[in-house]
Amino acid sequence: MTFEAFKSAEKEGWDARAAAYDKFTGRVTTGAIPTLLAMAETAPGNRILDLCCGTGRAAGAASALGAIAEGLDVSPEMVRAAKAAFPAVSFSVGDAETIPKDDDLYDAVICSFGVMHVGSPEAMFKEIARVLKPGGRVALSHWVGPPDSPLFRIVFGTMQRLADMSVVPPSPPPFALSSEDAMREALQSSGFGEVSCSLLPLVFKAPQGKFAEHFRAFAARAAVILDKQTDDTLNEIYAAWENQLESFLVEGEYRVPMPALAVTSTRRE
């Protein structure tokens, strides 16, 4: 199954979120960038591809360290925002499952939270291996899934219980690679060697009473489901979220842990 309808919905979702990405999603995801750049052994003169680059923050940070950075994203609106923010970096539109770049080109490929949003992570990993130089490094961040992520346990647990999931296009399991073992197996079967993982203690924050608004702006994949629900169902979901989030309320703000894996490996020679 190629999940073309899912991929189209993802592209449309990120196009719609490009203008506000840094206000919502980027507040959390940028916390992974220093770790990814360190894992990629970013250095002056290194060629680095930021895959699923979004608004280009990782590529921009790599460029600031002297790397020859490029960014690729399936969303034209994200690429437009990245070009505006980092005019010295080359950004282009493209599919992570069929990377439009030559073989053996990059010293490192980084991907900050993009794995969950492609139709075939396995195809993506093989493409990353193809465009890396032998011995080149991959550095990925990927959300930990429920039950080990309080945020996703509440959000997706409630949606699975209350939402009509039959109205959304078929999609790959969002948390299939959220464990170290699963990620290790997927990378090693795609041309990579030893895999190293660490945990990033990221936190989702939203003002009291505005969790639903902030989360829908944050997550395109969840919004694909929520956009198809009736108003009554949405109200029921939102009320259940608010009830479960009370224990995470601090000084008028929800602060909900959403840990992520930081993963690195090298392409086999």
The angle formed by the CA atoms of residues 219, 222 and 227, to the nearest 5 degrees, is: 110
Beta strands 260-266 and 249-250, pairing class: unpaired
Phi–psi pair at 100, nearest 5 degrees: -80, 60
Q: What is the pLDDT along the chain (269 residues), one digit of tens a residue?
A: 568 999 999 999 999 989 988 888 899 999 999 999 999 999 999 999 999 999 999 999 999 999 999 999 999 999 999 999 999 999 999 999 999 999 999 999 999 999 999 999 999 999 999 999 999 999 999 999 998 999 999 999 999 999 999 988 888 999 999 999 999 999 999 999 999 999 999 999 999 999 999 998 888 888 889 999 999 999 999 999 999 999 999 999 999 999 999 999 999 98
Is domain 4-266 annotated with CATH 3.40.50.150?
Answer: yes
Q: Could you tell me the residue ranges of all domains in the chain? A: 4-266
Phi–psi pair at 38, nearest 5 degrees: -65, -45
